[in-house]
Amino acid sequence: MTSPQARRPIVAANWKMNTGPDDGAKLARAVAAQGLPFARVDVVLCPPATGLAAVAATVRSTPVAVGAQHVYWEASGAYTGEISVPMLAGLATYAIAGHSERRQLFGETDLDVQRKTLAILAGGLTPIVAVGESLDQRDAGQTLDVLRSQVTLVFEALSPDETSASVIAYEPVWAIGTGRNATPEQAQEAIGWIRDTVAEVQGSTAADQVRIQYGGSVSPDNCDELLSRDGIDGALVGGASLDAAAFAAIVRAAAP
């Protein structure tokens, strides 16, 4: 069994539809200059597509990694507006799949998320697979069923090694951008359930090794209590990641 301490925490910034090349590069420079504990935590910045090149150039000589917020699963072709994994070569080493805003606002299905995750892995990048229940689903007592089906549909298509190399972000939809974070108990319960589901689908080694973040209104005020919990291997941060000092505080809280 891998002890929780053996999983390296990972904190990722999801800038969403904020920043262009110039202000994105400036924010990336500010993050890289925060004196972060890079020896103990992986740090990833996910700018919008138009900022990927500028941010990648800015952090090239630092331990900060770059991720795409969104990819399409085909490698090339007539898909106006889409970006493929091979097109990220030299720009990103991570890519988010299945963010709830993509699912809710742009109609992405579990099967789409599976295809994207496979394409991200096939391209040699690390997927950050986002899952989470809506408020209605939580209120109806469906949280664990929703998480089980979201996780199963993606991870049953992977190998155990691909699963181990992936990152999962547990992001309850009701906590995203609302200022209402899940309690540490809620986050820990859901993440434990996700890990159990991965174990059923891909075995206990993969489940022990896959890193599972919490996301949803993570801030400097709540990061200590969330990220000190066993089993919570870092955070996916939206709003607070647009401020270098606030993001840095969250990165430090994730360091073991």
19 in contact with ligand PGA (CB under 6 A): no
In this chain, which of 129, 176, 223, 244 binds ligand PGA, going by CB under 6 A? 176
Q: Would you call 70 a catalytic residue per the annotation?
A: no
Q: Out of 70, 82, 99, 156, which one is annotated catalytic?
A: 99
Identify whether 99 is a catalytic site residue. Answer: yes
* CA–CA distance, 87 with 75 (Å, rounded to integer): 8
Give the residue, chosen from 236, 244, 250, 254, that forms a contact with ligand PGA under the rule CB under 6 A: 236
Q: Which stretch binds ligand PGA (CB under 6 A): 24-32, 146-154, 211-219, 245-253?
A: 211-219
CB-nearer residue toward ligand PGA: 125 or 240: 240
Q: Residue 50 or 104: which CB sits closer to ligand PGA?
A: 104
Q: Are 72 and 84 in contact (CB under 8 A)?
A: yes
Residue 215 binds ligand PGA (CB under 6 A):
yes
Please tell me the distance from the alpha carbon of residue 122 to that of residue 119, in angstroms, as a whole number. 5
- Of the candidates 10, 91, 71, 20, which has an alpha carbon nearest to the alpha carbon of residue 256? 10
Does residue 177 belong to the site contacting ligand PGA (CB under 6 A)?
A: yes
Q: Which stretch binds ligand PGA (CB under 6 A): 87-95, 113-121, 158-166, 171-179?
A: 171-179
* Closest approach of ligand PGA to the CB of residue 234, in Å: 12
* Distance from C-alpha of 254 to C-alpha of 177, rounded to nearest angstrom: 20
**Nearest distance in Å: CB 150, ligand PGA:** 15
Q: Tell me the window of 2-10, 56-64, 136-144, 234-242 that interacts with ligand PGA (CB under 6 A).
A: 234-242
Taking CB under 6 A as the criterion, the residue among 119, 227, 239, 251 binding ligand PGA is: 239
Looking at this protein, which amino acid is placed at residue 237?
A: V
Closer of 14 and 137 to ligand PGA (Cβ): 14
Q: Residue 217, interface with ligand PGA (CB under 6 A)? A: yes
| C-beta nearest to ligand PGA: residue | 238
Q: Binding to ligand PGA by residue 47, rule CB under 6 A? A: no
Among 226, 237, 244, 253, binds ligand PGA (CB under 6 A): 237
Binding site for ligand PGA (CB under 6 A): 14, 171, 176-177, 215-218, 236-240
User: Which residues does the annotation mark as catalytic?
Assistant: 99, 171
